[in-house]
Structure 1
Amino acid sequence: MGASATLSTPTLAVQAGQQVTTTVVIRNAGDVVDHFTVDVIGPPAPWATVSPAGVNLLPNESTTVTVTFAPPRTADVTAGTVPFGVRVFAQEDPEGSVMTEGELDIAPFEAISAEVVPAKVEGASGATFEVAVDNLGNQVAPLRLSAVDPEAELSFSFRHSEVTLEPGTTAYVRLRVSPPRRFLRGQPVRRPFKVTVTPESGTPVVAEGTYVQRQLLPKWVLPVLAALLVFLLAIIALWFTVFKPAVRSAASDAAARQAAEVKQVAQAAQQDAGAAKQQAGEAKSGSDRALRAQGVDPAQPAASDPVAPPKVPSTPPPAPTAPFDRRIAADAPIDPDVRRFREVEFVVPQNKVLQVTDLILQNPRADVGSMRVVRRTPDGRTLMFEFGLGNFRDLDHHWVQPLTFASGEAIILAVSCQNAPEKGNCTPAISLSGRLEG
Structure 2
Amino acid sequence: MSVSASLDESSVVVEPGGEAELPVQVLNSGTTVEECRFEVVGPCAAWTTVEPETLSLYPGATGTAVLRLRPPRSPETAPGEIPLGLRVVPTSEHSETTVLERGVTVRPFTEVTSELVPRGSNSAWRGRHKVAVDNRGNTPLTVALSARGATERAKTAFEPAELTIPPGEAKFATLKVRPAKRLWRGTPVTHPFQAVVTPRMGDGQDPYEPVVLDGSYEQQAILPRWLPRALAAAVLVAALLVGFWYALLRPTVRSAAREAITPQAVESAVKQGDKESSGGQDGQQGGRQGASGGGGQDGGQDSGSAGPGGDKSRGPSDGSSAGPGEPGGPAVPTSARVQVRDTVGGGAAERTAYTVPEGKIFELTDIVVQNPQGDAGTLVISSDDGQLLNLALENFRDSDYHFVTPIQVPAKGKVTISVSCREVGRPVKAPAPSQCSESLFLGGKISATKADG
The separation in 2 between residues aligned to 1:125 and 1:251, in whole angstroms, is: 57
SS at match of 1:44: helix
The yes-or-no answer on 1:230 pairing with 2:236 is yes
Asked if 2 retains the 8 angstrom alpha-carbon contact of 1:5 and 1:88, the reply is yes
CA deviation after TM superposition for structure 1 residue 137, in Å: 1.7
The yes-or-no answer on 1:276 pairing with 2:276 is no
Write out per-residue CA displacement over residues 392-421 of structure 1, whole angstroms, 9 at most, x where no aligned residue: xxxxxxxxxxxxxxxxxxxxxxxxxxxxxx
Over 3 Å counting, the alpha-carbon distance change for 1:136 and 1:278 in structure 2 is closer
Q: What amino acid does structure 1 have at the position aligned with 2:237?
A: F
The separation in 2 between residues aligned to 1:130 and 1:272, in whole angstroms, is: 92
CA deviation after TM superposition for structure 1 residue 153, in Å: 3.1
CA deviation after TM superposition for structure 1 residue 212, in Å: 2.0
Name 1:54's counterpart in structure 2: 54
Name 1:164's counterpart in structure 2: 164
Asked if 2 retains the 8 angstrom alpha-carbon contact of 1:115 and 1:208, the reply is no
The yes-or-no answer on 1:211 pairing with 2:211 is no
The yes-or-no answer on 1:13 pairing with 2:13 is yes
CA deviation after TM superposition for structure 1 residue 207, in Å: 1.1
Over 3 Å counting, the alpha-carbon distance change for 1:14 and 1:175 in structure 2 is same
Runs of 5+ unmatched residues, structure 1: 280-314, 316-438
Name 1:399's counterpart in structure 2: none
Runs of 5+ unmatched residues, structure 2: 202-206, 280-317, 327-372, 374-453
Over 3 Å counting, the alpha-carbon distance change for 1:272 and 1:244 in structure 2 is farther
Name 2:128's counterpart in structure 1: 128
Name 2:177's counterpart in structure 1: 177
Task: Kindly report which structure 2 residues correspond to 1:28-427, keeping only aligned pairs within 5 A, or say none.
Answer: 28-201=28-201, 202=207, 203-244=209-250, 247=253, 275-276=322-323
The separation in 2 between residues aligned to 1:33 and 1:272, in whole angstroms, is: 154
Asked if 1 retains the 8 angstrom alpha-carbon contact of 2:150 and 2:156, the reply is no
Larger Rg: 2
Asked if 2 retains the 8 angstrom alpha-carbon contact of 1:33 and 1:58, the reply is yes
When normalised by structure 2's length, the TM-score is 0.52
The separation in 2 between residues aligned to 1:73 and 1:29, in whole angstroms, is: 41
Over 3 Å counting, the alpha-carbon distance change for 1:142 and 1:251 in structure 2 is farther
Write out per-residue CA displacement over residues 42-92 of structure 1, whole angstroms, 9 at most, x where no aligned residue: 222333233333211233433332323233433332222211112212111
The separation in 2 between residues aligned to 1:162 and 1:129, in whole angstroms, is: 16
The separation in 2 between residues aligned to 1:248 and 1:124, in whole angstroms, is: 52
SS at match of 1:130: strand
SS at match of 2:43: coil
CA deviation after TM superposition for structure 1 residue 28, in Å: 2.4
The separation in 1 between residues aligned to 2:152 and 2:160, in whole angstroms, is: 21
Write out per-residue CA displacement over residues 12-69 of structure 1, whole angstroms, 9 at most, x where no aligned residue: 2223333333222212244431111224222223332333332112334333323232
Q: What amino acid does structure 1 have at the position aligned with 2:32?
A: V
Q: CA RMSD in A?
A: 3.9
Asked if 2 retains the 8 angstrom alpha-carbon contact of 1:81 and 1:105, the reply is yes
Asked if 2 retains the 8 angstrom alpha-carbon contact of 1:40 and 1:87, the reply is yes
CA deviation after TM superposition for structure 1 residue 116, in Å: 0.7
The separation in 1 between residues aligned to 2:168 and 2:199, in whole angstroms, is: 15
Aligned-residue sequence identity (percent) comes to 32
Over 3 Å counting, the alpha-carbon distance change for 1:186 and 1:2 in structure 2 is farther
Write out per-residue CA displacement over residues 102-149 of structure 1, whole angstroms, 9 at most, x where no aligned residue: 111111122212121222222232333221212122211022222234
CA deviation after TM superposition for structure 1 residue 244, in Å: 4.3
The separation in 2 between residues aligned to 1:132 and 1:233, in whole angstroms, is: 56
When normalised by structure 1's length, the TM-score is 0.54
SS at match of 1:276: coil
The separation in 2 between residues aligned to 1:273 and 1:80, in whole angstroms, is: 120
Q: What amino acid does structure 2 have at the position aligned with 1:180?
A: A
Asked if 1 retains the 8 angstrom alpha-carbon contact of 2:29 and 2:59, the reply is yes
SS at match of 2:171: strand
The separation in 2 between residues aligned to 1:107 and 1:209, in whole angstroms, is: 35
Name 2:410's counterpart in structure 1: none
Asked if 1 retains the 8 angstrom alpha-carbon contact of 2:75 and 2:168, the reply is yes
The separation in 1 between residues aligned to 2:189 and 2:256, in whole angstroms, is: 59
SS at match of 2:95: helix
